[in-house]
Amino acid sequence: MKRHIILYVLIIFCCSLNAQEILSSTNKKAVKIYREAMMNQHYVFETDYFIAQMKKAIKIDKFFTEAYWALANINPYQQPDKAIEILNLAIKNNAPREAETRIKIAEIYYKYKQDYDKAINEIEQISDSQFINEKNKLLKKYQKVLEISQDTLPFAPVNLELVNTNFDEYFPSITADEKYLSVTVSNVGDYDRDEKLFISRNLNNYWLPANPIYDLNAGGNVGSQSFSADGRYMFFVACDRYEIVGNEGYNSCDIYYSINTNGKWGRPIHAGAPLNSPEWESNPSFSPAGNELFFVSSRKPNFGGCDIWHCDVEILDGGLLKFSNARNLGKPINTDGNDFAPFIHSDNQTLYFASDGHPSLGGSDIFVSRRENGVFSEPKNLGVPINTERDEVGFTVNSKGTRAYISAKNSEKPERGLDIYQFELYDSIRPKSMSYVVGNVFDAVSGKKLDAAVEIFDFDTQTTISESLSDKKTGDFTVFLSDLPNFGLNAKKMGYLPYSEKIFPANDTLKIALQPIKQGEKFILKNIFFAFNSAELLPQSEKEIAEITKFLKKNANFNIEIVGHTDNIGGDKFNKDLSENRAKSVYNALINKGISAQRLSYKGFGATQPIATNATDEGREKNRRVEFIIK
């Protein structure tokens, strides 16, 4: 431990010296001793000699501030009182740069002793006007942490004993239905060597022993994994694999993904640029909407340390993913410290992440931020005792928002290192509760199971709530619902007609029969809406208009006829005109989206072609429809 710490200190000081740091001492002999000790790599592994040299420099010049700092920085984690004693001696001897020395003392009280009152007291003694901004910033930070530390919240963690081993387990990830749990396991225990992916299955509310995911563990380090909410994708990080994607090469730690088909993980796929870069990438988290991936990168621009980024994602036919528009998540999420390990909940609004840049209890803590209208709120520390003076790094929550999973030191059996714990989440930091429904996609003619993109969207906002890829072997999928009264559903696959439906939270299993494209075939998009007795398209129709536009652009060889229908309420002429005007409204909407008028035609049949009884409200609603016929 001492060797690692002294090496870190020397790296920091060598960077300063390379920048020609101006030292406080003018004594040539003391400065020479100091510089030789800092620069000579031979002394990296001789801590006792390094200490002796620094003490010698201080004895020659008791005002040599940087020598005191070097001594104090050797091992503040294991010997915080010794470090504070050395720094206080510098102040007692009237060494220059007192304000900076007091800041260092305060940081030791804060990081290594969790004595926030003494940290505040130390900062309050700074009188140098040049440090007034830093003083105020640190006072605000320490006072906030003191407030957090005094508010102990409900926390009853349960060790997942069958999942955990004598090695370190961290970065827990669950499918939103809590059927599967994956973890990163390191048999070295230092977060960065000999890491492998393991998976556990939930049987009758008990997590079974975790087993290696052999299909994904080939090569060097593999870890920092996360499921997509529906469990169809596994995102993970692999290091030291050299990949060529297009004309670009990658050889650092990059993000990969794998698609699960009938219980088996497929070949790892390098995500490519712009998600990956020549810099370090890690901690992927896929949004339930299927259109966004959060991740961590050391690339520029950043705010100082590692930052949380996000990029756009498109699920292509067959499940391959296309990544674009990578960008820094910005403030208030990122800081000048390290912000990492994002987890976006299945509500697509609540983001949990780890940070040592926001006010924390000493190391990195877990924070929560909520997104509204595309903007994330000021992060909130999850508080004591979920967060401790140690580093908290891995956190995930089930779809209902009631139960969380975290990686933490096993205090009862320290020899077991980091273990995975589950606990009930208290109300103030819970995400929005989400339910889920399952379904199945198949070919309407042959009955063959299909891999299709299935999307659930909010009628009012027209935003995607959940997108799932059905299993190409079984046709099964899982999608997520909030507390809205009803939702729209779209399903699509190349070679098939678009499919849409209105669904309700009470739905059990969704059966989706996709019709192969052929001339003369007709289909109904059931989420096109008009104002009462009017041809005015309502805003809730925007998603469907967009879907038919995409379909036409991808299938440029086909034209369509748009046909309007009504129920039997009202006169024949009124219904005929209304149905034709509604078809024309859709026709105009598609032209406005860039579809050539030469590919479109329209007509109305009024109430002459019902597909259900007109004796009930439900039947009449089915009869009020717009059909599309392939030409």
pLDDT of residue 153: 81
Q: 586 or 20: whose pLDDT is higher?
A: 586
For the chain, what percentages of helix, strand and coil (3-state, to nearest 5) are there? 25, 30, 40
Q: 197 or 417: whose pLDDT is higher?
A: 197
> 481 has which bridge partners?
435
**pLDDT at residue 318 tops 50:** yes
Q: 188 or 358: whose pLDDT is higher?
A: 358
Q: 201: part of which helix (H) or strand (E)?
A: strand 195-203
**pLDDT at residue 264 tops 80:** yes
> 529 has which bridge partners?
none
- 238-242, 322-326, 341-345, 559-563: least confidently modelled range: 238-242
CB proximity list for 150: less than 8 A, separation 6 or greater = none
Which pLDDT band, with edges at 50, 70 and 90, does 439 fall under?
very high
Q: Read off the DSSP letter of residue 45.
A: G
- 12-21, 82-91, 412-421, 458-467: least confidently modelled range: 12-21
pLDDT of residue 155: 85
Which pLDDT band, with edges at 50, 70 and 90, does 461 fall under?
confident
Query: Rounded to whole angstroms, how far apart are CA atoms 60 and 472?
Result: 76
pLDDT of residue 218: 76
DSSP readout, 442-459? EETTT--B---EEEEE-T
Q: CA-CA distances (angstroms) from residue 19 to 23, 54, 305, 509, 546?
A: 12, 21, 20, 66, 57
Which pLDDT band, with edges at 50, 70 and 90, does 507 fall under?
low
pLDDT of residue 239: 81
Classified as helix, coil or strand, 440 is: strand
Q: Where are the domain boundaries for CATH 2.120.10.30 in the chain?
A: 158-284+292-309+329-429
pLDDT of residue 44: 47
pLDDT of residue 46: 64
Mean pLDDT of 448-470: 93
pLDDT of residue 395: 94
Which pLDDT band, with edges at 50, 70 and 90, does 68 fall under?
very high
> What size, in residues, is the chain?
631
The architecture that CATH gives domain 158-284+292-309+329-429 is 6 Propeller (2.120)
pLDDT of residue 210: 94
Q: Where are the domain boundaries for CATH 2.60.40.1120 in the chain?
A: 434-516
**pLDDT at residue 335 tops 50:** yes
Q: Is the peptide bond before 154 cis (omega within 30 degrees of 0)?
A: no
User: If 0-12 CB within 10 Å is exposed, 13-18 middle and 19+ buried, where does residue 428 land?
Assistant: exposed
Query: Residue 24 CA to chain centroid, in angstroms?
Result: 46
Q: Where are the domain boundaries for CATH 3.30.1330.60 in the chain?
A: 518-631
Phi, psi (5° rounding) for residue 453? -85, 120
User: How high does pLDDT run on average in the chain?
Assistant: 89
pLDDT one-digit tens code per residue, 164-204: 988 899 999 999 889 999 999 987 554 446 789 999 999 99
- 153-157, 496-500, 545-549: least confidently modelled range: 153-157
pLDDT of residue 521: 94
Q: Where are the domain boundaries for CATH 1.25.40.10 in the chain?
A: 2-149
Q: Which CATH superfamily is domain 434-516 in?
A: Carboxypeptidase-like, regulatory domain (2.60.40.1120)
Q: 257 or 40: whose pLDDT is higher?
A: 257
Which pLDDT band, with edges at 50, 70 and 90, does 9 fall under?
very low
**pLDDT at residue 45 tops 70:** no
pTM for this model (two decimals) = 0.85
**pLDDT at residue 19 tops 70:** no
Query: Residue 207 CA to chain centroid, in angstroms?
Result: 24
pLDDT of residue 409: 86
Q: Which CATH superfamily is domain 2-149 in?
A: Tetratricopeptide repeat domain (1.25.40.10)
The architecture that CATH gives domain 518-631 is 2-Layer Sandwich (3.30)
pLDDT of residue 482: 84
pLDDT of residue 43: 45
Query: Rounded to whole angstroms, how far apart are CA atoms 450 and 302?
Result: 42
Mode of pairing for the β-strands spanning 281-286 and 269-270:
unpaired
Mean pLDDT of 206-218: 91
What is the percent of the chain where pLDDT is above 90? 71
According to the 3-state scheme, what is the secondary structure of 515-533?
A: CECCCCCEEECCCCCECCC
Classified as helix, coil or strand, 44 is: helix
pLDDT one-digit tens code per residue, 124-144: 999 999 999 999 999 999 999
pLDDT one-digit tens code per residue, 475-506: 999 998 887 777 899 999 999 999 999 887 66
Mean pLDDT of 266-294: 93
Query: Rounded to whole angstroms, how far apart are CA atoms 376 and 317?
Result: 31
Which pLDDT band, with edges at 50, 70 and 90, does 595 fall under?
very high
pLDDT of residue 278: 86
